[in-house]
Structure 1
Amino acid sequence: MTLTQLEYVVAVATFKSFVAAAEKTFVTQPTLSMQINKLEEELNVKIFDRYKHPISPTEVGAKIVEQAKVILTEAKKIDELVNKSQGKVSGTFKLAVIPTIAPSIIPRLLDKYSDAFPDVSLTVIEAKTSEIIEKLKNDEIDCGLLATPLDDNRIKEIPLFYEPLVAYFNKEEKALSKKNGKP
């Protein structure tokens, strides 16, 4: 059993397709299928029901997928530990951003980030708030930039800045007259 095989298993479970999983893991579909077949032979179980569309894990396959996620997360921590002990910051940082702030934040962030961490590959995705929260809880991303404060003890929240919300009126607006008082 290899970490690569486990990565392929998680990818197939995530994308529910061998073809899509192969594309996302940058290998050919036959290579991905062969590695999963080898793992199934080694474990003497079927991980995926290939007759269902979309592809889904078998009962034992679902448990294998969950354990594979744990193993891959822990393996990533080992890499980070070694790099940190050597004074290096490397690897991949997965950032999710809501579409409303992505255009204003991402361009400024990319330049500063690549200068500060040249050995770290930055992956940026746009997603809805609910999707970002779910990805954080499932350890699928490292950070999410949201505009809504959360009340979830499983997610650490660090305010980056506060934007004032300002109302603008025409000077002649009647709602602003002394007779009506100021809003």
Structure 2
Amino acid sequence: MFITEIAKTGSIVNTSDRLFVSSPAISLAISSLEEELGVKIFERSRNGLEPTEIGKKLIIAAQEILNQIEKFKQEAKSDSSEIEETLSISAVQSLCRSIIPKTSAVLKAKFPKITLQIKEAHPS
């Protein structure tokens, strides 16, 4: 992710500000990646960082991976929003006033098509 952000901003400092990660941590991550891959991803200069030719290819590949991860997350979210079922809950009065409202709000946010049936029961 760092290499795609640096490609957008042209600077470790700007990337650091955008991602709320320290500049030294980003610099170390980039250096480690370059060492691991055995290629130089960026040319460093007074004007910032410029991708090398191989760096440009790697940045495109990294962005494609990030896009696929986002697509994967969206696919997972879409499945949960498609569930159409009825959930029946029976609980004692104390739970109906404390836990059930918060829990039902979370459930409805995650599964907007479900129907909740809540019945207040007596402890006996």
Q: Indicate the TM-score class for this superposition, using the shorter chain for normalisation.
A: 0.5 to 0.7
Pick the aligned partner of 1:82 from 51, 72, 76. Answer: 76
Corresponding residue number in structure 1 for 2:56: 62
- Greater RCO (CA < 8 Å, at least 6 residues apart): 2
Taking only the aligned residue pairs, the percentage that are identical comes to: 32
Question: How many angstroms apart in 2 are the aligned matches of 1:34 and 1:17?
Answer: 14
Count of aligned pairs between the two proteins: 84
Equivalent residue letter for 1:67: A
Unpaired runs of at least 5, structure 2: 83-108, 111-124
Is residue 2:43 matched to residue 1:34?
no
Larger gyration radius, structure 1 or structure 2: 2
Q: Please give the secondary structure, in 2, of the residue aligned with 1:55.
A: strand
Cα deviations by residue, 1:132-152 (Å, 9 ceiling, x for unpaired): xxxxxxxxxxxxxxxxxxxxx
Equivalent residue letter for 1:56: E
Cα deviations by residue, 1:18-77 (Å, 9 ceiling, x for unpaired): 100111111010111111112111111110001352310011001111111111111100
More strand, by proportion: 2
Question: How many angstroms apart in 2 are the aligned matches of 1:55 and 1:79?
Answer: 31
Matches within 5 A, 1:1-183: 7-51=1-45, 53-87=47-81
Unpaired runs of at least 5, structure 1: 1-6, 89-117, 120-183
Question: How many angstroms apart in 2 are the aligned matches of 1:73 and 1:52?
Answer: 31
Equivalent residue letter for 2:64: V
Question: How many angstroms apart in 2 are the aligned matches of 1:52 and 1:84?
Answer: 46
TM-superposed deviation, 1:11: 0.7
Output the aligned Cα RMSD: 1.8
Question: How many angstroms apart in 1 are the aligned matches of 2:46 and 2:64?
Answer: 26
Give TM-score, length-normalised by structure 2: 0.62
More helix, by proportion: 2
